[in-house]
Structure 1
Amino acid sequence: MTLRLIAFAALLTPAPLLAQDLTPAETAKIDTLVRSTLADTGVPSASIAVVRGGRLVLAKAYGKASEAIPVARADLPYQIASISKQFTATAMQLLEDDGKLKLDDTVATYIPGITGGDRITLRQLLSHTSGLQDYWPQDYSFAAMATPVTPQQIVDRWAKKPLDFEPGTKWQYSNTGYVVAGMIVEKVAGMPLIDFLQARVFRPLGMAAMDQDLAIGPRYPQGYKRFALGPVRVETPAARGWLYAAGELSMSAADLAKWDIARMNRTLLPADDWAEQETAVKLTDGTTNGYGLGIGNNRRLDHRTLEHSGEAVGFLSQNIVFPDDKAAIVVLTNSWFSDAYGRITRGLAEIVLPKAAAATSEDAAALTKARRVYDQLRRGGLDRAALTTDANFYFTPAAQADYRTSLAPLGEPTGFVATGKPSLRGGFVQRGFRVTYPKQSLWISTFAEPGSDGRFEQFLVTPGE
């Protein structure tokens, strides 16, 4: 039964979009989307990349990159900020592959003096579950950021405070944890983090990445700010060192797309490293918010996503991979005062991703019937007239009791939708449904007799993503 359910779940997964260029109409929609968003928000520029069918099909920049570069170019390196975290995580994984460390080692094994260092693991640094206080929670540059800083100075000021919680018990975004991670990489590798990444990641993939502290000046994009609805102003960059390991990289959207393609194709790194990054880390109570090691595992437009956003001083960015669709979207902007990067990302996804077929009246009726039976199961009182003889045999009193006692505590679903397309099997119509709750989702696998009055031959509920 387990294998059949796995096969059925695979059947419901959207087929990867065939490798194809954007049509002229799609390109025109993208141009309109980006230009209108920049005009509406006042954001000076955006650089985007689109991967479709596993290959780059668009890399384009719009607007003004800086006062010295009035026309943005697609080859310019924008600051990607916290999108960098997945690269720091990768560096640690590569060192583990080399046999030089283990992600379940404690921090104290490598760096002394950090609060809780004898209990915090390297994995907890990468998953934001260490309890170390974040040194930069603000969405602006605080006073100290005008002065250069070293990783050790950040550690001395923030990583030696009392922990905000016991390691592994809660999730709290912590740039401090990534500074510690970067220091450990450098100590174990015997070289700067950026040099290690150049040798092991960027050069092998043909990526022109650089330290964002060096991507400042007349040859590079400039960050912008805005106070409320006032004029758009040039932002003053942070002094050197403040984004170390937690957000230190600058690159073009096209170069970041090369990394996304490696992720979806499982190249460069061993497949189990990619999977480890993307697996949501669970807290000690068994819950998770979907974050793995430097990247989040979520859903958008009913598509599975692997994603991270970034905020540097004067820059906002978004990077999303749709692994089941062999697609990816990169949006880099040079402002930190609007949701332009989010609006562009959502609009691109609606243009680029495969479109679901419009639901028929039969689909709508099947959805209503499935929801009715699901509600009966979670509340008790199953209508056996809606089931075939075999389905009635399956739903013994014990089965009904387990369904009710396990589903009732979840409360009212926040979503109930059909997944994939119906198909025929064994004389029955096979359909799938997803039930969502705030902290989890469930899959429903059904077989039903053809026709609007068809009874259910199968109605199985299993844990979802």
Structure 2
Amino acid sequence: MPDDTSKQLQAVLDNAVKLSGGSGGVAGVWAPWAGTWTAASGTVSHDKGADEMSTDASFRIGSITKSATCTVLLGLVGDKKVKLTDQVSKYLPRMVGLNGLTLGALCQNTSGFPDYWNSLIPQMVTNPTRTWDTVELINSGLGQPRVGAPGQTFAYSNAGFVLLGLALQTATNTSWASLYDKYVTGPLGISETTTIPNSSTLPSPAPTGYAADRDPVTGAVNCKVKDDDTDLSPTALQQAGGLVSNLSDTATLVHAVAAGSLLPSKLSVQQQKSIIVSKSTPSWAQYGLGVEKMGPLVGHASSVPGFDTAAYSDPKSGLTVVVMVNDSTAGANFARLVALQLASIGSKAKAESGKKQPDIALPWTAQQLGTVLPHETGCNPARGALTPELSAIADIGPNY
């Protein structure tokens, strides 16, 4: 990348680490016409004398897993194993309370199926290594009233993705490790992306993952105490967010999903056919089948105990951004805004000799996002009101 662009990108990453309360972070911007920038900031932990953060660090990519999960679903549709319109009850006939739920609606978060996240996240933060049974997570959703009629309302649900995972595993009689390998990681050759089925320990090198302590009963956040959630059990997230990866692999994954290279063109178009998330958010913030669409960018943001992560790619120009900070207190929207700020700067990188700079129309500016970010830090948000336009940007997607 040109020096001036690299300096701007590094400043964004350094500021993100500072605002997040984490000890460090990594980020990358890939612009085919200008070059590549990958960098680390800070250290792997808050411990005195801790090693510097490395761009090779492994981390939980959380809800970016949803993009991979729905790619598997569409791959199975392409192979005529299932249909998007299939009723979930077709594959899980013994489970009650699934009436009206379809595989496709679960992927687009329009099933109305309630989530377990808000009720169980305090326990996951304070007891990260606890093993969670799949049916236990699903029943936590089933035990709550429907958010809306199937297909009518966008309502983000990790429980819905866990239910989808169980349905597809039953439909194919195949493990999810094998499904991801067949439809996602195998074709891409990204060997560092894994579900770690038998262990919650992250592959080395790995930073410590922090989160502000939660009261297990009330859910109240105690910002004075930071829990070590590095060894969060993958059973807490499963097909909703259980994948672990690194900077390079995550970039490869999100670009492939955005470009549609893992699916036949018709199914790729189907994956990116999106709906507006909320009437109160900008119209350019939408959701497809396991993918967020932020203007022309396709990807996902995530917050799971220990890590905030976001990754997006522009299908036309190939512009791709990934960012991770090792403190999840701020939430997914914090990582989302940082990634979009990196994308704004990267989109303006000067083209190398002989290459043409693309015209990427992003409906936000790096300056706008820089103003909003201090209001998204969780424990120490900036004071003072934002303009209505910036307030809308401050809540452009799910915060977990």
Q: Do structure 1's residue 211 and structure 2's residue 190 form an aligned pair?
A: no
2:297 pairs, out of 292, 297, 305, with: 305
Alignment of 1:235-384 (within 5 A): 235=229, 237-281=231-275, 290-299=286-295, 304-338=296-330, 341-342=335-336, 344-354=338-348
Quick one: distance in 2 between partners of 1:100 and 1:55? 42
Counterpart of 1:223, as a letter, is G
Counterpart of 1:59?
38
146 and 159 in structure 1: CA distance in 2 versus 1, 3 angstrom threshold = farther
Is the 8 Å Cα contact of residues 59 and 244 (structure 2) preserved in structure 1? Answer: yes
Is the 8 Å Cα contact of residues 81 and 249 (structure 1) preserved in structure 2? Answer: yes
Alignment of 1:37-186 (within 5 A): 37-53=16-32, 57-66=36-45, 70-137=51-118, 140-142=121-123, 147-159=130-142, 161-186=144-169
Shift in Å, 1:250: 0.8
Is the 8 Å Cα contact of residues 311 and 317 (structure 1) preserved in structure 2? Answer: yes
Counterpart of 2:30, as a letter, is V
Quick one: distance in 2 between partners of 1:54 and 1:169? 41
Counterpart of 1:429?
none
**The residue matched to 2:240 in structure 1 has which SS?**
coil
Is the 8 Å Cα contact of residues 114 and 160 (structure 1) preserved in structure 2? Answer: no
Shift in Å, 1:120: 1.1
Is the 8 Å Cα contact of residues 44 and 50 (structure 2) preserved in structure 1? Answer: yes
Per mean C-alpha deviation after superposition, the further-off stretch among 265-274 and 93-102 is 265-274
Per mean C-alpha deviation after superposition, the further-off stretch among 59-68 and 197-206 is 59-68
From the CA coordinates, give the structure whose radius of gyration is larger.
1
Counterpart of 1:191, as a letter, is T
More RCO (CA 8 Å, sep 6+) = 2
131 and 54 in structure 1: CA distance in 2 versus 1, 3 angstrom threshold = farther
Quick one: distance in 1 between partners of 2:327 and 2:348? 30
138 and 355 in structure 1: CA distance in 2 versus 1, 3 angstrom threshold = farther
Per-residue CA shift, 1:234-267, capped at 9, x if unaligned? 3364445111100010101211111233244432
Counterpart of 1:334, as a letter, is N
Quick one: distance in 2 between partners of 1:334 and 1:69? 14
Quick one: distance in 2 between partners of 1:343 and 1:298? 10
Is the 8 Å Cα contact of residues 129 and 232 (structure 2) preserved in structure 1? Answer: yes
Is the 8 Å Cα contact of residues 133 and 161 (structure 1) preserved in structure 2? Answer: yes
Task: Tell me which protein shows more strand as a share of its residues.
Answer: 1
Is the 8 Å Cα contact of residues 258 and 298 (structure 2) preserved in structure 1? Answer: no
Is the 8 Å Cα contact of residues 250 and 322 (structure 2) preserved in structure 1? Answer: yes
Is the 8 Å Cα contact of residues 26 and 351 (structure 1) preserved in structure 2? Answer: yes
**The residue matched to 2:238 in structure 1 has which SS?**
coil
Aligned residues: 333
Per mean C-alpha deviation after superposition, the further-off stretch among 129-138 and 175-184 is 129-138
25 and 234 in structure 1: CA distance in 2 versus 1, 3 angstrom threshold = same
139 and 157 in structure 1: CA distance in 2 versus 1, 3 angstrom threshold = closer
**The residue matched to 1:210 in structure 2 has which SS?**
coil
Quick one: distance in 2 between partners of 1:331 and 1:139? 26
59 and 189 in structure 1: CA distance in 2 versus 1, 3 angstrom threshold = farther
Counterpart of 1:198, as a letter, is D
Shift in Å, 1:139: 9.1
Shift in Å, 1:160: 5.6
Shift in Å, 1:198: 1.7
Q: If the length of structure 1 is used for normalisation, what is the TM-score?
A: 0.64
Shift in Å, 1:317: 0.8
Per-residue CA shift, 1:348-399, capped at 9, x if unaligned? 123211389xxxxxxxxxxxxxxxxxxxxxxxxxxxxxxxxxxxxxxxxxxx
Is the 8 Å Cα contact of residues 115 and 160 (structure 1) preserved in structure 2? Answer: no
Per-residue CA shift, 1:25-50, capped at 9, x if unaligned? 21122223322432354321212121
28 and 343 in structure 1: CA distance in 2 versus 1, 3 angstrom threshold = same
Shift in Å, 1:311: 1.3
- Over the matched positions of the two proteins, sequence identity in percent amounts to 22
Counterpart of 1:222, as a letter, is T
Counterpart of 2:224, as a letter, is G
Alignment of 1:11-50 (within 5 A): 22-50=1-29
Counterpart of 1:195, as a letter, is S
Counterpart of 1:226, as a letter, is A
Is the 8 Å Cα contact of residues 147 and 240 (structure 1) preserved in structure 2? Answer: no
56 and 129 in structure 1: CA distance in 2 versus 1, 3 angstrom threshold = farther
Is the 8 Å Cα contact of residues 115 and 163 (structure 1) preserved in structure 2? Answer: no
Is the 8 Å Cα contact of residues 331 and 341 (structure 1) preserved in structure 2? Answer: yes
